[in-house]
Amino acid sequence: MNTIYPWQQEQWQYFATMMQADSLPHALMLTGLEGIGKHEFAKALVAAIICKEPKSDGQACGVCKHCQLLQANTFPDYIKLAPEEDGKAISVDDVRELIAKLHLTRHFDAHKVALIECAEQMNANAANALLKTLEEPPEKTIIILVTSQPLSLPATIRSRCQLVNFYPPTDDEAMSWLQSTIDDVEWEPLLRVAQGAPLQAMQYHETELLDQRIAVVQGYLEVFEPNANPMDIAARIEAIPFLLCFQWIQAVIVDLMRIKASENPITLENPDFYRPLLALAPRMQVPLLLEFWELLIERKRIFDNSLNRRLFAESLLIRSHKLAIKHRI
Ligand SMILES: [Zn+2]
């Protein structure tokens, strides 16, 4: 069964209307924050496009031959591409293979559908390879790109797709959905840490992500202490995905700035670290905080293109520690 979350009804209606009129654009890009259900939505959309007899709300019937094949991962006219693991690029070979499959004769009298998850992970060559197919797609083909970072994709790719934005639900909507899913969890801090993205909050609850986040935030805060050992801290967090480390550290700096602006900020990204953040903030002036911010952004840029992303934590923490020592925080 595919899921359309309550906060995605508007987008679903938009597609349902186009599907009924058989007027779906041949290239779509679904964008929005991570953790708000874009991937689930894309899955439901693929199923609806492929289904022989969609239901009145536009969703796939789940029982026709096409639906059954799709559920068994054997529908021959559907191709999915996603990075093999977090942070790994989608290569030009992957994209060429996808394009070759799109040009094969269709097996059924339905659309051929390609789904590219985490499309921002396509490297420049891969994106270039896709460009021509987006311009002149084979007949009855729909290509769907899903990304939380559309600006990381070349403008030429974006301009050839119909963009559809997804937004996080309001806090009330998110809380009521989370509580209706599991009611005996204290959701509010999880939702806050997940920056309002309910599926991310759910993931925090279900996986070790929350522990990982605590390790990263704690580790980064330690760097400001004179006797810290950044190599040790890096070793503790180096296995954690690069992008998550970056986002969590970014959130710490944002919180420190918020506290500089007001001792009682209305919201914090890390409400569970309020006390240590409050203790640390007066030791730094805003220009110095900006230096830590710049350092983080610079390290990310360097390691974005690096094969050895594990060095990101080490390099960032050592430099941040040196900066803290230099300014006698
Ligand atoms: Zn069906």
- Listed by start position, the domains of the chain span 6-165, 171-206, 208-326
Tell me the CA–centroid distance for residue 70 and ligand 1, in Å.
Answer: 9
Mean pLDDT of the 139-161 span: 94
Check if CATH label 3.40.50.300 holds for domain 6-165. yes
Q: Please identify every residue whose CB atom is under 5 Å from ligand 1, which is an ion.
A: 51, 60-61, 64, 67
Tokens in use for 199? 């599926």
Is 208-326 the same fold as 6-165? no
Tell me the CA–centroid distance for residue 234 and ligand 1, in Å.
Answer: 50
7 pLDDT more than 80: yes
Strand (E) positions, 203-328? none
Strands 141-147 and 112-116: parallel
Tell me the CA–centroid distance for residue 258 and ligand 1, in Å.
Answer: 50
pTM of the model: 0.74
Mean pLDDT of the 302-306 span: 80
Mean pLDDT of the 133-140 span: 92
Tokens in use for 157? 């790719």
Tokens in use for 28? 């779509």
Tell me the CA–centroid distance for residue 51 and ligand 1, in Å.
Answer: 4
- Work out the percent of the chain whose per-residue pLDDT is above 70: 99
Task: Count CA within 13 A, CB hemisphere, residue 176.
Answer: 7
Cβ partners under 8 Å of residue 151, min gap 6: none
Tell me the CA–centroid distance for residue 235 and ligand 1, in Å.
Answer: 49
Mean pLDDT of the 144-149 span: 95
Average pLDDT score over the chain:
92
Tell me the CA–centroid distance for residue 25 and ligand 1, in Å.
Answer: 21
Tell me the CA–centroid distance for residue 53 and ligand 1, in Å.
Answer: 5
Q: Residue 88: what pLDDT? A: 77
CATH number of 208-326: 1.20.272.10
Tell me the CA–centroid distance for residue 67 and ligand 1, in Å.
Answer: 4
